[in-house]
Chain A
């Protein structure tokens, strides 16, 4: 895919906003992964001497501490790791499921496509928060529940997008040529349809990550997701809201980190779409 990827990379490099966004995301990821080595504090040790301490570069706690005296720097980075991991893993799952589903549905067309689309429409119609709350009431809070509910949502739009692309691709001559060469449906979907929808898939995947992170944060904010003492940006924000007046940094730090990550992912997604949309020649 040299021809395709090379041109796209060039165009992306020429987009200053996207490059900056990529840089910021990269910086955050590196810090989240390496951060613990830079600061001696960990996420659950309670510092009785500095409960709800203000942030300060001179003190031992750069971002301050929370209500229980736990270091906010360490907790925020841990929260960032969890949120990004969930975002990444859930996005990958949604890409895999969504692309397969959409490609098969779009390529096969006809009644199979109609049936598969009905399934998507049913899922889309579900009021998801109520669904999650209902499951929580029945099964109790758990992290696997978090994954299930995110999983139920993430792949839907991806499947729709890929299906739309597949519907138009299957009319093209090179698909007829593949059929005339004796290729079966499986080979055509895997080798001809999927590689040709990669462009929109990559773009949408980059936009799915912030969506999922936001959804997870929302669920955690509602108390339906990550449990104590674990932290995600959502749970940290929930705690911070409670202390908004007394210790605003508890909200400001995780809140702004989440906002920055989401903003950069969206900018990167837009930049990727512009870079990949241009046809060659």
Chain B
């Protein structure tokens, strides 16, 4: 088993009284695509930002290439940033409206390769634009002149120009039209394959996650509830929330019967409450679920679930 590229341990992020992330631990291996799925309030975007130290973590470790990103001094962190990049959800908002797209893509080059001449920089920018499917001549244009899909390509170009080892995509295709999503996803797949890059793909769309990933993590209200290989998760989900999520996705042609989905609404997480965060909505909840927080345990090789009944749910539940 190769050493993981990224190791997150016991990560916790608080925003005042509200805990956005709790006890998050996982490994990310080289060249794999890990999908991170969850609904709003699950903490998936917060996790991405915490890994990059764009928000502060209350506790935990994020080990990347032997360094704990949360503890190294700011200058060292900045130096590491060339290896860890992110593509944001809103393509237009992630580009500075007052900078041409060529300048936006060139900025990482200016920061990390300041010895490049202007000509060399332009060449690299042009090559990157072509690589993401845009004409090099568009470098002088401004973000508002492009469509959403094109802006996302520019965001990807900027993230890839330094060939990072890890790319985090935070809902990178969620605000794009369906007919454009495939284009961007294919681009990401191609780039990843070419560079052997590791990708953490955050999405609320399970079908997209299924097409793209090797492994999948599921989050609910700031906790990791299941980690499994893609095939295993979609064929035989263990955690009741994962099952509810899969059952809720509308399909073409529509499914006839409804499997036990999640009841009610997502509760506002209470820091002082004990027990499993999903218990109010879980059709399989027991007394123990109200008192004890289930730990994330390996229930089968490579499959982890945080559920008191996980040993049962591998077989059909009554």
Measured CB to CB, the residues of A under 8 A from B are 1-4, 172-174, 176-184, 187, 191-192, 195-196, 198, 280-281
Contacts and interface: CB of A to CB of B under 8 A. Distances in A.
Contacts of B49: 176
B142 A192 contact: no
Contact of B82 (A176, A182, A191, A196): A182
Interface stretch (B6-14, B105-113, B186-194): B105-113
7 contacts: A173-B88, A173-B94, A180-B52, A180-B81, A182-B112, A192-B96, A196-B96
B271 to A, nearest CB: 24
Contacts of A173: 88-90, 93-94
Interface in B79-110: 79, 81-82, 84-86, 88-90, 93-99, 107-108
B93 to A, nearest CB: 4
A172 B142 contact: no
B78 interface: yes
Interface residues of B, number: 30
Given A182-B82, A183-B111, A2 B142 contact: yes
Contact of A183 (B93, B97, B107): B107
Contacts of B79: 182
B239 interface: no
Contacts of A183: 107, 111
Nearest to A2: B142
A229 B142 CA distance: 54
Interface of B: 49, 52, 54, 78-79, 81-82, 84-86, 88-90, 93-99, 107-108, 111-112, 141-142, 144-145, 155, 158
Contacts of A177: 86, 88, 94-95, 155, 158
B107 A178 contact: yes
A172 to B, nearest CB: 6
Contact of A180 (B85, B90, B96, B98): B85
A280 B96 CA distance: 13
Contacts of A2: 142
A180 B83 CA distance: 10
A181 B108 contact: yes
B35 to A, nearest CB: 20
Contacts of B144: 3, 280-281
Contacts of A1: 98
Contact of B98 (A4, A176, A178, A184): A4
Contacts of B84: 180
B81 A181 contact: yes
B90 to A, nearest CB: 6
Task: Name the 4 nearest CB pairs between A and B, nearest first.
Answer: A182-B81, A173-B94, A195-B98, A3-B142
B103 to A, nearest CB: 9
A132 B23 CA distance: 61
A180 B50 CA distance: 12
